[in-house]
Amino acid sequence: MKKITIAIDGYSSTGKSTVAKQLADHLGYVYVDSGAMYRAVTLYAMQHGIISKDKFDIPELKEALPSIQLKFKKEPHWEKARIYLNGNDVEDEIRNLEVSKFVSPIATIHEVRVKLVAQQQQFGLEKGVVMDGRDIGTVVFPEAELKIFMNASSVERAQRRLKELLDRGDSVTFNEILKNIEERDFIDTTREDSPLRKADDAIEIDNSEMNLEDQFHVALQLAKDRIAGRI
């Protein structure tokens, strides 16, 4: 069967990674979480004192970029691929609110984007890939056969993310999460390099009122139609 490239973009906590993973599992495609890569670079900068509450040293980070090696690893018994930063599994650590607070400023840096986009494009060389992020349909894979743009109300998104972080034992509040989501949305949509925007040929799904199953069925039908060449 013909393999296609599926690009899923949208705002934070709209369900992009959930639907991307479901589609990849169903179609036997590779799933790539591009946000995890920006988060891992951010974690590196935090761990090496390049960024902190009082410091944001862009030249130092640019200089460190060649020392940052990112890999995804997937074992058969794992539910999804995990990201490795210089050989260490950082999949859980990159999801905390501290990383979320720094990641969008880091993602504005042109040299960071150039490095990560090049690696993302390598993942897609043979098609059969579902990638989610902010610039997948506009920059990473502008020729993707299927582009989906996900949206939902910010209160709904903050409630979803809060549940996720509380379930794993993080101590966070609804207001902190809502503030972080709104700040990231602002930075991501207004940055100069590759701002988050719906590609002209993307199909928008607002899932404020949809559960995971409903959104998956909508996305799967779109993918099947594209693979069959119906739309």
Which amino acids are annotated as binding site for ATP, given as ranges? 10-18
Instruction: Pull the structure tokens for residue 189.
Output: 């949509």
Q: Of these, 160, 162, 205, 223, which contacts ligand CDP (CB under 6 A)?
A: 160
Distances (CA, A) of 80 to 20, 25, 73, 100, 150: 11, 9, 9, 21, 21
Question: Of the two residues 4 and 177, which places its CB atom closer to ligand CDP in the complex?
Answer: 177
Instruction: Pick the piece of the chain touching ligand CDP (CB under 6 A) from 74-82, 122-130, 133-141, 170-178.
Output: 133-141
**Geometric angle at alpha carbon 104, from 90 and 13, rounded to 5°:** 75
Question: Of the two residues 38 and 44, which places its CB atom closer to ligand CDP in the complex?
Answer: 38
Q: Of these, 115, 147, 184, 226, which contacts ligand CDP (CB under 6 A)?
A: 184
Q: Of these, 57, 60, 93, 164, which contacts ligand CDP (CB under 6 A)?
A: 164
**Geometric angle at alpha carbon 117, from 110 and 126, rounded to 5°:** 165
The residue type at 198: K
Q: Of these, 22, 138, 215, 223, which contacts ligand CDP (CB under 6 A)?
A: 215
Q: Of these, 114, 118, 155, 212, which contacts ligand CDP (CB under 6 A)?
A: 212
153 belongs to the binding site for ligand CDP (CB under 6 A): no
Q: Which of residues 1-40 bind ligand CDP (CB under 6 A)?
A: 12-18, 34-35, 38-39
207 belongs to the binding site for ligand CDP (CB under 6 A): yes
119 belongs to the binding site for ligand CDP (CB under 6 A): no
Q: Of these, 101, 115, 134, 226, which contacts ligand CDP (CB under 6 A)?
A: 134
Measuring CA to CA, which residue among 1, 13, 34, 229 is closest to residue 130?
34
Question: Of the two residues 135 and 145, which places its CB atom closer to ligand CDP in the complex?
Answer: 135
154 belongs to the binding site for ligand CDP (CB under 6 A): no
Measuring CA to CA, which residue among 140, 150, 128, 127 is closest to residue 8?
150
Return residues touching ligand CDP (CB under 6 A): 12-18, 34-35, 38-39, 103-104, 107, 132-136, 160-161, 164, 184, 188, 207, 210-212, 215
